A and B are shown apart, each in its own frame.
Chain A
């Protein structure tokens, strides 16, 4: 069964700290992995997408990596700010899965001023 896991469920850091969010998956036949941000009561905003042929993607202070062999992806946030406080979700699209996304349960990040 294809599963995606995010640990920890919650994380609190002081402003300015660099941090890493973890995502693991059970099926190495991953087509791509997408990171989303969700603010309370809001929808999902796509942050980064990594194709299976790529090892990392960068957007501003965000960097996402993908290691298929170990079944892991990480989202690195540099110089965290209070505005980064949100829930971060990773979702995998796997080969032969008709485009469905399998989601992790998310990591809720709080950045304290």
Chain B
């Protein structure tokens, strides 16, 4: 999935710890998204950003914050991680028509 880079790829956190998931693109698209993927639940939208400096809540925003300081980067922050946030997180872009996804961050909260 060239063009969308997520870091880290794997992370284990203890309950209550904080961390930031990073997403960077080199495709020059305005719209960026954070999804989480859970077994039996499919992919659900956490937050999205239509352009630099703007963000909006998606379907499951509780427990998360986001930051879109420039066009290239969109970060997702967990201020106080909970076991319910154990999931695979995907960053995505939307071009004129098609969506592009990063390789995902596999997060485990113990």
Contact = CB atoms under 8 A, between A and B. Distances in A.
Interface of A: 32, 34, 36, 41-46, 49, 51, 89, 91, 93, 98-101, 103-106
B103 A51 contact: no
12 contacts: A43-B90, A43-B101, A43-B104, A46-B98, A91-B43, A98-B48, A99-B50, A99-B94, A101-B33, A101-B92, A101-B99, A103-B44
B42 A43 contact: no
Which 9 A-B pairs give the minimum distances between C-beta atoms?
Answer: A43-B103, A44-B101, A105-B42, A103-B43, A99-B94, A103-B42, A99-B31, A43-B104, A49-B98
Interface band, chain B: 20 to 34
B43 A89 contact: yes
Nearest to B100: A46
Interface string B1-35: 10000000000000000000000000000010101
Interface string B41-78: 11111001010000010100000000000000000000
A34 B99 contact: yes
Interface of B: 1, 31, 33, 35, 40-45, 48, 50, 56, 58, 90, 92, 94, 97-104, 106
Nearest to A49: B98
Nearest to B56: A98
Contacts of A101: 33, 43, 45, 92, 99
A106 B40 CA distance: 9
A46 B92 CA distance: 12
Contacts, number: 57
A99 B98 CA distance: 10
Contacts of B98: 34, 46, 49
Decide if the interface of chain A is mainly helix, strand, loop or mixed: strand
A32 B97 contact: yes
Nearest to B41: A105
A104 B44 CA distance: 10
